[in-house]
Structures are given as C-alpha cells and as structure tokens.
Amino acid sequence: MVYKIVKYPDPILEQKCEPVTAFDTPELQQLVADMFETMYASKGVGLAAPQIGISERITVIDCAPATEGEPNPIVLINPEVILKEGKQVGEEGCLSIPGFREDVSRAKKAVVRALNVKGETIEVSGEDLLARAMQHEIDHLNGILFLSHLSPLKRDLIKRKIKKLIREHEWD
C-alpha cells in the first residue's frame, strides 16, 4: 500500500519518534513493505516512518533509483550513528518538502547500528549518498528536517515560500 506522504509543517515531522519494541511481527513486516512501496512510488532514496504519519524509529533507504545501480534496500530500526568521518557538501531534498533542494553539509562516511525486522542487530557502513541518506533519515526519527541544517536566512526563505504555497492551495 502506498501511503500519502506527510508534508511540512505537520507537527509529527518535528517530534522525536518512539523506539520499536515488537519485532518479527506481520504488522512490522507489512509496514516496512509499505514504506518501500511508498518510497519507490515517490522516487525517493529514503523514507522515515513519521513521513507516513507513524511516529516510530523506522526508516527505509535505497540509493539505487538515484545512482541507477542494483536495488539495495536497507531497513534501519531504532538506528544510531556510531561513527562519522569526513565531510561532504551536496544537494539534499526531502519528500516532505517537495520542490526544495539545498546544499547540506554531512559526514562523508557513516556507520549505523540498527535492528532489522527480526530484531537482529545490523551495522551498515556507507559513504557519499548512502551516508547522506542515513544521516537525513535518522534526523527524521529525531524530529529534525534538513531545513535545520541551512542558514537561518535560507530556512526562513523556504518557510515563507511554503506558507505562500499553502495560501494558494498548492501544498497539501
């Protein structure tokens, strides 16, 4: 099932999500499958549960649509960044803030420890786009949007443009 994506400024996007406590359940498997379906339908490289209105620490990532590589679906539940190295500055967007892309500085490399749907501990190491996607998605689980990484000037400009789009009913 493809969910409708929650857009900024819905308050759920700025709340810290709750850890998942029940693993290896049909409900969790279905939710993760639906998150992938929703992400691929939107041509995104990552999706976090709050973006479909569920305030739980679950995110799915697949950079393949952007890199034209083989599919590489990654599920991170209750994830934590355990190592960050280097720096990359590159354009970033968000399915909850469609139409806006800005340069964001992130660690070039990131190692994340998380649980999979069975509740097993996994570690995922990524560089470049995968590292960026993991940092962006884990931010979502902490209620942080990429707007928070911009200068106040750029952030306010985007917020004003979104308010205008809302007034003109061009943003739902």
User: Pattern of binders to Ni ion over 78-97, x per CB under 5 A?
Assistant: ----------------x---
**137 an active-site residue?**
yes
CB 131 within 8 A of CB 107: yes
Catalytic member of 27, 137, 168, 170: 137
Count CA atoms closer than 13 A to 133's CA, side-chain side: 28
Range 94-133, binding Ni ion (CB under 5 A): 94
C-alpha–C-alpha distance, residues 64 and 152, integer Å: 32
Closest distance between Ni ion and the C-beta of residue 26, in Å? Answer: 27
Cβ proximity to Ni ion: between 6 and 64 the closer is 6
Number of residues this chain uses to bind Ni ion (CB under 5 A): 1
The identity of residue 42, as a single letter, is S
Cβ proximity to Ni ion: between 25 and 142 the closer is 142
C-alpha–C-alpha distance, residues 172 and 169, integer Å: 7
Q: Which residue is nearest to Ni ion (CB)?
A: 94
C-alpha–C-alpha distance, residues 141 and 56, integer Å: 7
Catalytic positions are 137
Which residues would be at the binding site for Ni ion (CB under 5 A)?
94
